[in-house]
Amino acid sequence: MREVFFTGAFLLLLLAGAAAAATPEEDAAQVMVTGAVIDPAVLMPGDVATVTVTVKNTAQVSVPVRSAKMYTEGNILVLDNPYQTFGAIGAGNEASFTFTVQADAGSGTYYPRFVLDFTNAGSLRYAVPVKVEAVEPRVSVADIPDAFTAGKKDIVRVTVSNPRSGEVNGVSVMPSGEGLVSVPTSAFIGALAPDGSAEVAFNITPESETTLTMTVTYRNGRNQRTTEVSIPIVFSEDKKSARIVVSGVDVTTENGSYRVSGDVTNAGLEVAKAVVVTVGSPGVPVDPNRVYPVASLDPDDLSNFELTFRAENVTEVPLVIEYRDTNGNLYTTRTNISVEGTALPGEGEEGGSLPLTVVLLIVAALAVVGAVIFFSWRRAKGG
């Protein structure tokens, strides 16, 4: 038993001696880089980023460190070096070192050097790959109307895409331009992954010809950036809009007022919504049909209407048709209808709508009845 005890003790002394025999260089060699993180992952020219290098001491003893530095490589500028002095990395421990760099370079991959200087035991060198891409997120016009019209609201759609190999954050789009109104005033997209895209829409109402600018703001890491696209707004005729045509108009008098009926047809290529027919001044709409709602008219669709109104000392009155497009824009068209030759009874007269032939027949019938009564009376008196 005593022999076994002495043998074990001897082996422990050998192991302890072996550990004690490790040189500082051998201990330092057990320190290795386990990772490096760049934020943002892909820089743009001029961007500021952070580079964090993590090392681990796998030795059985603490390893003293004099300093940790990063050195400028090419056009990757190192803006700070906060670890001019350092203590030691304990056995089995990790340590992280963060530096600030700036990309004063075009597209490419660069390798600034991280150097961990051990006290009297050499150094650890590690090249950190830093990627720079000059390409920016793109904004493109997805949909605009065929024609812009003053005061008319139209939808403009834009697509923002991210062709970069890194994510961008806080993406938003804001339209602007002199003499135009946008609803909404801006749109927030958020983060765009690599090769990702998003579409936003705005209701644009221009009051004059101008330039619509879509400004996209976004962040790449801590770096705030913008890009934009310009859209010229030039007024022209909208060849696809709804076009209301009036036909089959018939005007008569009835109960002391005019009664007009006819048809309205949508001869355009887009739907006409909320169609309403009435008469304008000098015509005065009266019951029972002051206005006539037709509802929606699809292209080539037709609907009849009927109105009642009064008008004095005029030969024609305007027929007013109001309708809206799918964006809610209001349109008004006017068509004059003739009332000449259609006599309107005077105020307070009843039965004015009876045709003249009927009146003459009534008078003739009354004359015949009177004559019969007169001759009957004379025959009776003579008898």
Q: What is the 3-state secondary structure (H, E, C) of 59-97?
A: CCCCEEEEEEEEECECCEEECCCCCCCCCEECCCCEEEE
The count of other CB atoms within 10 Å of the CB of residue 318 is 16
What is the rounded CA–CA span in Å between residue 240 and residue 275?
Answer: 17
Between β-strands 316-324 and 108-110, what pairing exists: parallel, antiparallel or unpaired?
unpaired
Q: Which residues contact 339 (CB under 8 A, 6 or more apart)?
A: 251, 258, 311, 314, 315, 316, 317
Residue type, 83: Y
Identify whether the C-beta of residue 317 lies closer than 8 Å to the C-beta of residue 287: no
Task: Quote the Cα angle for 336-337-343, to 5°.
Answer: 140
Helix, strand, coil fractions of the chain, as percent rounded to 5: 15, 50, 35
- Predicted confidence at residue 211, as pLDDT, reads 95
Confirm if 84 and 72 have CB atoms less than 8 A apart.
Answer: no
| Stated length of the chain | 383
Token pair for residue 74? 């090419």
Q: Which two tokens stand for residue 250?
A: 């018939």
Burial of 56 (0-12, 13-18, 19+ CB in 10 A): middle
For residue 145, whether the previous peptide bond is cis, meaning omega lies within 30 degrees of 0, is no
Q: How many of the other CB atoms lie within 10 Å of CB of 40?
A: 21
pTM above 0.75, yes or no: no
What pLDDT is attached to residue 371? 72
Q: Taking a C-beta distance cutoff of 8 angstroms, is the pair 207, 180 a contact?
A: yes
CA separation for the pair 275, 295 (Å, rounded): 5
pLDDT tens digits along 127-137: 999 999 999 99
What lies within 8 Å, CB to CB, of 207 at 6+ separation is 150, 151, 179, 180, 181
Dihedral class, residue 295 (left if φ above 0, else alpha if ψ from -120 to 50, else beta): left
Cα 124 to Cα 141: distance, rounded to the nearest angstrom:
52
3-state secondary structure of 19: helix
The predicted structure's pLDDT at residue 254: 79
Q: Which residues of the chain have pLDDT under 70?
A: 1-21, 341-365, 369, 375, 377-383
Helix, strand or coil, per DSSP, at residue 378: helix
Q: What is the pLDDT of residue 340?
A: 76
From the CB of residue 202, how many other CB atoms can be counted at a distance below 10 Å?
22
CB 328 within 8 A of CB 307: no
Compute how many other C-beta atoms are within 10 angstroms of the C-beta atom of residue 216.
22
> Do 198 and 219 form a contact (C-beta atoms < 8 A)?
no
Question: Within a 13 Å sphere around the CA of 20, how many CA atoms are in the beta-carbon half?
Answer: 6
**Residue 148, amino acid:** F
